[in-house]
Structures are given as C-alpha cells and as structure tokens.
Amino acid sequence: MADTVEFAKMNGLGNKILVVDMRGRKDRVTPEAAIALAADQATNFDQIMAIHDPKLSGTDAYIDIVNCDGTRAQACGNGTRCVVQALSAETGRKAFTFQTLAGILNAQEHQDGTISVDMGKPVFQWDKIPLSEEFHDTSRIELQIGPIDNPVLHSPAVMSMGNPHAIFWVDRDPMTFELERFGPLLENHPMFPEKANITLAQVISPTEMVTRTWERGAGLTLACGSAACSAGVSGARTGRTERKVDIIVASSPNRGKLSIEWRADDHVIMTGPAEWEWSGNLDPVSGSFTRDPEPEVQAQ
C-alpha cells in the first residue's frame, strides 16, 4: 500500500475511535476514506482523531476530527483521551495541549491511567450554540417529540461544548427510549442549523446521572464525551445536580463512568479512561488499511 500512515483502533468507554498519525503531511483524511473505514466492520468508528503538526506555538498538535459520515466535528472528548494515551505511550509525557476547531484543549494522563481533558467553557447564547430561534433562557427551550398533551421528550436544555447539544431530561433508564427513532429527527430539527447531539439524561442523585446519546454525524454511539460534559453542566445549571457529577454512560460496555466537573472558573473538566485495541497502517485518501500482526504470546 503506497503512502500510508500509522493508526490505532481505540475506544473511550466504547466510543469507537481511530487515532491517525498525519504528522509530517500536508493533506487530510478524506471524507471518502472515512466513509470506507466506517463501512468496514474491523475499522468501524464514531470519530477519527487525526494528529497533525501544530499550527500554533505552544501547542503539541492540531487535531482534525472526522465523523463516520465524512463530516468534520469540532470536539470529541473521548477521542481526545485516546490521543493523549497514544502520545503518552510514544513520548512518556503526561500533559499535552491540542488545537481543535473548538479551540485549545489541555489534557493530562494520571497515575491510575485515567485522563482529564479541559473541554473549555460552555456556551449558552442561543445564536452561538447555534439555534434558529431566539431564546433568552436556553436552560429550557420549547421543543418536543410526541403528542402535544403527552410528549415523549420535551423542554431540553441546550448549549455548545464546542458543538451543539440538546439534553432531554427523562425519568427512567435512557436505554428504554427509542432513541434510534427520535435521534435523527431531533439531530436534523430546523431548530439546529448546524444539527445537534441529542442526549437523554436521567438524574439519579445530586452527584450522579445516567445518559445515552445520539451523536451528530455518527448516530447512536456507545459514548460521547462532549455530551457527558453538556449533561453535567446542564444538570448543575438547572439545579438538578451539583457542579461535580459522575456520568454513567448507559450505552457503553459495562455502563462505564465519566467524571464531569464544572469548575468555578467556568471550565469543564472531563476525566475517564481510554483503551488501545490494535494498530495498523492506512491510506488517508482511499481508506484501505492493513493490520499489524498481533504480538506473539510467549508460552508459559
């Protein structure tokens, strides 16, 4: 295969990530390559995190984020943790600063292997989320699915965490809702001119909630870091939770957990795991790939 780059198949709480090393190159992973990789069961992913040479002084890399439908994403918290783990294993460093479409992200790997990402400040202004209609209070907007007198979902909190999010509060396990049916309708609702991530959130206590997300450009996802941040912030903003909360991601393997803290300085810190699965080489133009041989297991 000509002109290939190294990549790793990883996940963050089940959020399927391809970390692609594009350093030293001027091109980008093409939409065609992303669609081809997403169509293959071996490389099926939610986001590609393409590591490019830094564009700004003081940063370690520029991260180009690509959804499985070939569109670009501004932010991906779970994917950022995967990038940190990959670069930490390569360099031995524990702290990194990345540039993304959503801005500058600082991240650090801890002794226990978990990784914290400073996801920046939440945005609540209706025209910056953005919404197509003006709402003075975006902690609860007029939007619903289902009958007018008995809606299935209604009155979401909306915000941007580098990308648009709508958080619908539910009173039972989010896995019991037909999010695969509602998700596409809400993602593409005229209220969201740049589409939106749709999350169902069940508050368990002031320090714990359960979430499930339909991800813009990716569909049903096992986990979404920026959605967990948005749910945590929205919980505190509406008085449902404290400013530090554990998010149980209902759709992730073993219902994994993220810690979200909305600090006093308005920054949102997300902490959670990342997992390496396997590595290989791929063509960023076509999406063709080869998989590295599995390490030999020594006989006992």
Cα torsion 53, 282, 9, 212: sign: positive
The catalytic residue among 68, 76, 82, 229 is 76
Residue 297's Cβ-count burial label (10 Å; 0-12, 13-18, 19+) is: exposed
Total number of residues shown for the chain: 300
The catalytic residue among 68, 82, 224, 229 is 224
Residue 229 annotated among the catalytic residues of the structure: no
Biggest alpha carbon–alpha carbon distance for the chain: 67
Tell me the three state secondary structure of residue 250: coil
Numbered residues of the known binding site for substrate: 15, 47, 67, 77-78, 163, 197, 215-216, 225-226
**In the block, residue with structure tokens 């909630």:** 209
- C-alpha 19/C-alpha 65 separation (Å) is 10
CA torsion angle for 120, 211, 78, 237 (degrees, to 10)?
Answer: 10
Residue 224 annotated among the catalytic residues of the structure: yes
* Positions marked catalytic: 76, 224
